[in-house]
Amino acid sequence: MNRIGFLFCCAIFFSASTAHAQSNENAINTKVNALVKKMTLEEKVGQMAQVSLESLGKTDGPNFIFDEAKLKDAVVNYKIGSILNTPGQPLKPEQWNEVVGQIQKTANETKMQIPILYGLDDNHGSNYVLGATLFPQEQGQAATWNRELIYNAGVITAYQSRAASVPWTFSPVLDLGTNPEWPRIWEDYGEDPYLDAQMGVEFIKGVQNPLGSKDKLAVSIKHFMDYSDPKSGHDRTDSWIPEHYLREYHLPPFAAAIKAGARTVMVNSALINGIPTHINKHILTDILKKELGFTGFVVTDWQDIENVYRRDHITKNIKGATMLAINAGIDMSMIPYDYKEFCTDLIALVKEGKVPMSRIDDAVTRILRVKEELKLFETPMTYVKDYPKFGSAEFQKASYNTAAESITLLKDSNNILPLPKTAKVLVTGPNANAMRCLNGGWTYTWQGERTDEYASQYNTILEAVQNKFGAANVKYAPGIGYDNTWGKYYADSVIDIDAAVKAAADVDYVLLCIGENSYTETPGNLDDLFLSTNQMHLAKAMIKTGKPIILILNEGRPRVINNIVGAASAILHIYLPSNFGADALADILTGDVNPSGKLPITYPRYTNSLVPYIHKPSEGGSNPQGGDFDPQWPFGFGLSYTTFAFSNLTINKNNFSADETATISVTIKNTGSRQGKEVAQLFSSQLVASITPDVKRLRGFEKIDLKPGESKTVTFRLPLKDLAFVNADNKKILEAGDFKIAVNDLTTVFTVNKTKTF
């Protein structure tokens, strides 16, 4: 077939598939509208309520037992539409099949027989399903800079969640990781809007497409928006931000996800400029539903309508908060305990004319549409027996590969790494022998505190290092241990630093495994970003031994370690790499794997200097009047055991109109003696603009694999409109002028010849 013939066939294929999608959408809308017409107000309001599993029964050993009267009351009497969460412990997929099965059976006893939508936080795989393969937490996933790995993680997560009968995930987290103090920074894809959007879209494609298939889920992108940058650094507190910054930085990942088809959105649990996001009509309706054209539904975060009243003092009672939230655009309330009050209040509010019936119809239509799109009416249940690849070696390999590509080499003095396989090693530090630390929060339980019990079949760092170097060559003395008391996970205490010092006497290297214990949300709030005093004592004592220190950072937040960086011979950041992370680390230590991770965040050097890489020139190191941007390691940084040379940065033209696309290419050569992967990162800087331009912004990236001596050319296609920024009038504008682009240390300049507003 010639080129014209090929293009003609493509055009026919696309218009046929668009027509098919349109007729499918029409059929769903017709069916849902007919259903909504038949429903009573009580039935509609019930669909808008979501309760937690724990409120409907209790655990009995490893099992969950429903209180049948409570289940019936919620599902049959109050007609609730959704249930979420674990009973406080993970269940096997067969147990989930029974739990969800019993729920759907009860839903069948209602007049409308509408299936219940079950949702779980699959933050890093199906983390509440025993035996499922888990993945590194999102920050580590982003450190791979490899879209394919993230897509695969999405595919596998969806498959395993469906094996457990659960068709809805509260992921991905698209919050921007700009504030290192925030206790959930590790749950997101790093600090850059472009990287975040790219990774989020890959995950959504993997999890959701094609929606309606028995191994796909609906996603809930969260937490819309600017949850991640509270002024206090503490969870669920106020963020101060002008709207043009909100739109410039926090909105794009969500906008990209909605364009990619994300079907549900969870709301920022905190406040923006003093307004609880759950009652912010401008954000939920004007921006999300109208401007972005979002047709799915909006779910609250945990108890957040109640928070408007109790925490934020906006109303005098919950009923007032319910009115404001539903009128602002909330479609479903994660209550999660007292569904009766929500349902009773909302029914009364409609009858009193305080919430229009049209708003209820809109909300319930959105919810039922997603249930239809998931084909829950046809197939409310899926069973593990139909998912033979659940927890398979193939899935485990995908998790291992993701961990291996995430691990980031930050320092390697005199190429001390990789280590000889015959080396004698001391493994020390509180993170050395804990699956809990490798996984972080949202692992088997909310805070991840029981991970060592549930993940004992996988290797801790100590075990993986013993497997690799031989048990006889490995000594273990932790020195410090974490406090596992509920609510004190940030604390650690001295076990025996002297014993660790003694153990170092006859080894060649010290593997110092430091960082953080598992945590999430409010229990993870922290007052001091320095590495803890106890760990610092251990590090200093180890440095004093004079043995080469290989520092392993296993942490959610970038803890400040400036005092020990200089003395460490090598530093590897492993993030929260999950159950195969230690195996990947051991392979990197010996050189069986060449590290290729790159920081998706700026690693701070000082606690009072937490500026991310996206900042203004006044914050930059070149500003004589106070700029002090001097991170420990910059965003995008990561070394390799081989070396790469970048050359021949070219752009197809020097002068563009705003609607054109630039073609930029660069050649990368592996100049070392090992195979390795390198990431080409394309940054742009506008030289002059009406709002002070950011020093630089990521606009593209590609990860490539190169054999020793091999060269490859990477080509980026950059639509010029991607360089537009949001101005003080909240308009997206590409201002005419000069731009610099940079890949590695190569730069070139071009001009945009005419201003355009988008």
Nearest approach, Cβ of 427 to ligand BGC (angstroms)? 34
Check residue 226 for interaction with ligand BGC (CB under 6 A).
no
Check residue 459 for interaction with ligand BGC (CB under 6 A).
no
- Write the interaction track for ligand BGC spanning residues 397-436; mark x where CB under 6 A is met and - where it is not: ----------------------------------------
Check residue 121 for interaction with ligand BGC (CB under 6 A).
yes
- Is the CA virtual torsion 398, 400, 403, 407 positive or negative? negative
* Subset of 502-561 contacting ligand BGC (CB under 6 A): 521
Looking at residue 34, its amino acid is A
Task: CB nearer to ligand BGC: give 301 or 492.
Answer: 301
Residue that has been written with the tokens 């027996």 in this structure: 385
* Subset of 684-723 contacting ligand BGC (CB under 6 A): none
Task: CB nearer to ligand BGC: give 47 or 82.
Answer: 82
Can you spell out the DSSP letters for 180-193? TTSTTGGGSS-S-H
Q: Which helix (H) or strand (E) holds 739?
A: strand 737-743
Nearest approach, Cβ of 16 to ligand BGC (angstroms)? 38
Nearest residue to 279 (alpha-carbon basis) of 238, 322, 311: 322
Check residue 603 for interaction with ligand BGC (CB under 6 A).
no
Q: Determine which one of 301, 331, 345, 492 is catalytic.
A: 301
Task: CB nearer to ligand BGC: give 78 or 170.
Answer: 170
DSSP E strand boundaries for 140-289: 168-169, 218-224, 264-267, 271-272, 275-276
Task: CB nearer to ligand BGC: give 222 or 250.
Answer: 222
In the list 188, 301, 372, 449, the residue contacting ligand BGC (rule: CB under 6 A) is 301
The two three-digit tokens of residue 623, written as one number = 């500003």
* Subset of 243-282 contacting ligand BGC (CB under 6 A): 266, 269
Looking at residue 81, its amino acid is G
Site size toward ligand BGC (CB under 6 A) is 9
Nearest approach, Cβ of 269 to ligand BGC (angstroms)? 5
Report the DSSP beta bridge partners of residue 50: 82, 334
Check residue 302 for interaction with ligand BGC (CB under 6 A).
yes
* Subset of 345-364 contacting ligand BGC (CB under 6 A): none
DSSP E strand boundaries for 303-379: 333-334
Nearest approach, Cβ of 116 to ligand BGC (angstroms)? 16
In the list 135, 145, 168, 170, the residue contacting ligand BGC (rule: CB under 6 A) is 170
DSSP E strand boundaries for 595-690: 644-651, 655-656, 661-670, 676-686
Task: CB nearer to ligand BGC: give 51 or 163.
Answer: 51
Nearest residue to 758 (alpha-carbon basis) of 240, 224, 252: 252
Task: CB nearer to ligand BGC: give 447 or 554.
Answer: 447
Task: CB nearer to ligand BGC: give 87 or 418.
Answer: 87
Looking at residue 657, its amino acid is S
Nearest approach, Cβ of 266 to ligand BGC (angstroms)? 6
What are the angstrom distances between the C-alpha of 722 and each of 530, 658, 679, 752? 37, 10, 20, 12
Q: Considering just the CA atoms, what is the radius of gyration of the chain in Å?
A: 26
- Write the interaction track for ligand BGC spanning residues 79-98; mark x where CB under 6 A is met and - where it is not: ------x-------------
- Burial label for 181, CB within 10 Å (0-12, 13-18, 19+), is buried
Nearest approach, Cβ of 303 to ligand BGC (angstroms)? 8
* Subset of 564-593 contacting ligand BGC (CB under 6 A): none
For the question of residue 506 being annotated catalytic, the response is: no
* Subset of 186-225 contacting ligand BGC (CB under 6 A): 222
Task: Tell me how far the alpha carbon of residue 41 is from its chain's centroid.
Answer: 37
Task: CB nearer to ligand BGC: give 268 or 460.
Answer: 268
Can you spell out the DSSP letters for 488-554? -TT-EEES-HHHHHHHGGG-SEEEEEEE-----SGGG--S--BPPHHHHHHHHHHHHTTSPEEEEEE
What distance in Å separates the CA atoms of residue 86 and residue 202, rounded to the nearest whole number? 27
Task: CB nearer to ligand BGC: give 128 or 469.
Answer: 128
What distance in Å separates the CA atoms of residue 352 and residue 323, rounded to the nearest whole number? 11
Nearest approach, Cβ of 222 to ligand BGC (angstroms)? 6
The residues annotated as belonging to the active site are 301
Give me the residues that bind ligand BGC (CB under 6 A), please: 85, 121, 170, 222, 266, 269, 301-302, 521
